[in-house]
Amino acid sequence: MAVPIVFDLDGTLIDSAPDIHAAVNAVLRDLGIVPLSLSRVRSFMGGGVDVLWQKIVADRGLDPQGSPALVAAFMTRYQRATSLTSLLPGVTEALGALADAGHPLGICTNKPMLPTLAILDHFGLRQLFAQVIGGDSLPQRKPAPEPLWAALRALGDDPAQPAGFFVGDSEYDAACAAAADVPLLLFTRGYRLTAVERLPHRLAFDDFAALPALVARLTGKAAAPAGIP
């Protein structure tokens, strides 16, 4: 069996920042609070909804006691928000090529399960993934290793001696992969704030068109084309 490959979602397969930005600012405007820029909201993403709002509350000097109500108001808007989210270039073709090569595919994201499934259905991708682990699927979230281990286990891998790969874009993904002892293929055009060389990873790539050949090279199935390190 070809090795399993688990993907992060936001910033790796999709650009969801515009939908998250819109939902955040709708909540803030309802409360008469100055909205945030898209770049500011993007910089707060990656740790899940609770972490997102912890950072917003700190940034806007709000009372942390009100965080649960803010999260609830946000989720009402966010759980099925898809209209401003886009697939990143080359994702559909890369996923199809990996699936055709026999790789079991999974998702490991800090995004809650309901909006995760909504966005996968919106883009017609849900059927490609044999396992989806959301930010509320387990007690732990990335950067803890347990969500990645759970995804790999469901795809037939042994977390004690993982053979699969994790594809992600952020500091959370790099830390999770390192904690799980799983090689990270780092997508460099996502939401990462840290320099590539400062994040632990097996290989980095900036174009999903290169990913199937890169995986083939790592698994010894084929030589990578020119330009792949």
Q: Which residues are catalytic?
A: 8
**Contact, 148 vs 167, CB < 8 A?**
no
Query: In angstroms, what CA-CA distances link 189 with 8, 55, 103, 148, 195?
Result: 13, 22, 24, 21, 12
The tally of CA atoms less than 13 A away on the side-chain side of residue 153 is 10
22, 120, 147, 173 from 7: Cα distances, Å: 25, 12, 12, 9
Contact, 137 vs 147, CB < 8 A? yes
